[in-house]
Amino acid sequence: MMKFSGLLENYHASLAALWLILLTMFIQSLVAMVAHRRQASYIPGIVDPNLSHSSFVFRSDRCFRNSLENSLIMIACIVLAMNLGMAAITLAWLAWIYALARIVHMVLYYAIATEKNPSPRSYFFGIGFICNLVLLIWLALLL
């Protein structure tokens, strides 16, 4: 296991991507919170189950929850990969592709109100999912 200063030195690009993932999730949380509270009537913490993709409140909430569901795995994998000494450039590529895919997914989720599946956002969800899968397999090989 390498010291913390070695992590910063060797994995700077991966840590920057990790920061971007966390920032994206924070922004999604803020957008969902503001959208929810701008409704004429709302109950804190509860999204009306009758809403669907035509509602920005629904889309902002689902986008944030989707990131919570998927990014936790990626964040843990990035930290584990750094501690196991995974090749820094490989980890950086996977982390940045994931981070950018999640941003495009978010923008498309906010912009396109569709029940269609797959929708354009689905492709970027898939890219992030594949990054998670590749990293999980790579970690299994490192263990």
Domain architecture of the chain: domains with CATH: 4-142 (1.20.120.550)
Q: What are the tens digits of pLDDT across the range 39-93?
A: 777 777 777 778 788 889 889 999 999 999 999 999 999 999 999 999 999 999 9
Residue 72: how many CB atoms within 10 A of its CB? 11
Q: Maximum distance among all alpha carbons in the chain?
A: 53
pLDDT score for 109: 93
CA distance 112 to 41: 24
The pTM (predicted TM-score) of the whole model is 0.89
